[in-house]
Amino acid sequence: MYSYRDAKKKDFTAIAAFPVNKQESFYMFPKGSFPLDPEQLFAVSQTRKLPTVIERSGELAGYSCLYDVQEGECCWLGNVIINPVYRGQGAAAYLIETMTNRAASELGMKELLLVCHNTNTKALFLYDKMGFKPYDIKQAQDHDGNQLVGIKMRKPL
């Protein structure tokens, strides 16, 4: 059904269009602005590990990467976004499982970490279902100045 591959520069025009509003853009890339700039997103991907896209029938269905890699220990899952066409069709679970497997097998990680904002309820439920558990919180502020809680979660690999 879905397959994955390393992201290519040409993919970032489509990836930057996946967030349908300012809130989704913030969840995916808090340091970016809405609408996302494909060049900025590509540039950030070059500083990260394993920028990965998933596809279905040749169409991009999602994107994520890993960052802040601590050799042999842990890294962070970042920039998770699903093409609106594929939401509710198992794409997010496939992408997260793919990134989990790549972190363990290709980077030798023992733990995968992430931050999910308290207002992103669907993602929180999915991460919990996939074995991520909360361990800390951090204060955050969205692009409109609203206070949020970033819930730090982890999963042993």
pLDDT of the chain, 157 residues: tens digit per residue: 999 999 999 999 999 999 999 999 999 999 999 999 999 999 999 999 999 999 999 999 999 999 999 999 999 999 999 999 999 999 999 999 999 999 999 999 999 999 999 999 999 999 999 999 999 999 999 999 999 999 999 999 9
Does the pTM exceed 0.95?
A: yes
pLDDT of residue 48: 98
Here the CATH number for the domain that contains residue 63 is 3.40.630.30
| Closest alpha carbon to 82 in 20, 124, 23 | 20
Calculate ∠ Cα 97-102-103, nearest 5°. 100
Residue 120 forms part of a structural domain: no
What is the span of the domain harbouring residue 83? 3-114
Residue 130 forms part of a structural domain: no
Task: Quote the number of domains for the chain.
Answer: 1
